[in-house]
Amino acid sequence: MAKKNRRRSGGARELGGGSSAKRKATEPKSNDDSKALDFVTEPARPRNGAVMEWIKSLLVAAVLFVVIRTFILQTFVITSGSMEEALLVGDFLIANRAAVGVRIPGTQTRIPGYSSVRRGDVLVFDPPHEPDLKLVKRLIGVGGDTVSMKDGVLTLNGRVQVEPYVKHMDPAGDRPDPYWMSWQAEHLVDTVPSATYQPTRDNWGPLVIPEDRYFMLGDNRDTSLDSRYWGLLEGWRLEGRASLIYFSYNKGSFRPFPWLREIRLGRVFSRIR
């Protein structure tokens, strides 16, 4: 309103006509009145709408996190040395769940993955002997394979395996374990009598693996608690394929703040083989 009156009075002055009374009538309002009018007409911002947008964003982020963690990727940290040197204590790894299929939570039903597991894969799984534990081991044998070990050397389907990733820390520790290894008698080949079978850590088999069962071993063969002891792994227990180490530090260091001062830079963002 004030700007409109100002333009009109100026135009009258330019034309040069009209009395002083008319000019007085068309004088603009004071600046204080104009500011007051502007202040009154400024619209208030709706605060409830902004709060709702934040809530929606948080809900979408939470849903995406659950979907990714449940069906695509999951993170784990290594707490034992059973997979040295491929995985060290203090390695933080990403497991690809979509690659091998995903178990629907609370069931034994699986959604198929976009690839199948292969011998040599490093896999994360739920072991049969400890339901609340997650283990990481290397897949050695699948359904239909025959596996055995003699003096710590692995044989698969009659062929001696070359395993450059295997580590031995206690070669003299080979001994029988009837409590853990008794399950093997049910899967022996026909030529080995189960009545006299006495497996040890480094000498066992040959064992025939049934369909949809997997034989898992740790790379650190002398210290790993694996399929030699707790048995064959069912397919529905698989959690994912260990794919990438995204962070690593020397967890056993006695220095303060080892996660800052003892980072293994050479292992960060390295692929797991």
**Catalytic residue annotation:** 82, 137
Give 151-160's long-range contacts (Cβ < 8 A, gap of 24+).
151/202, 151/203, 152/202, 152/221, 154/217, 155/205, 155/206, 156/119
Distance CA 25, CA 28 (A): 9
Count Cβ atoms below 10 Å from residue 71 Cβ, excluding itself: 14
Q: What separation, in Å, do the N-terminal and C-terminal C-alpha atoms of the chain show?
A: 77
CA distance 114 to 99: 5
C-beta contacts of 109-115 below 8 A and 24+ residues apart? 109/236, 110/235, 110/236, 111/71
C-alpha 97/C-alpha 240 separation (Å) is 4
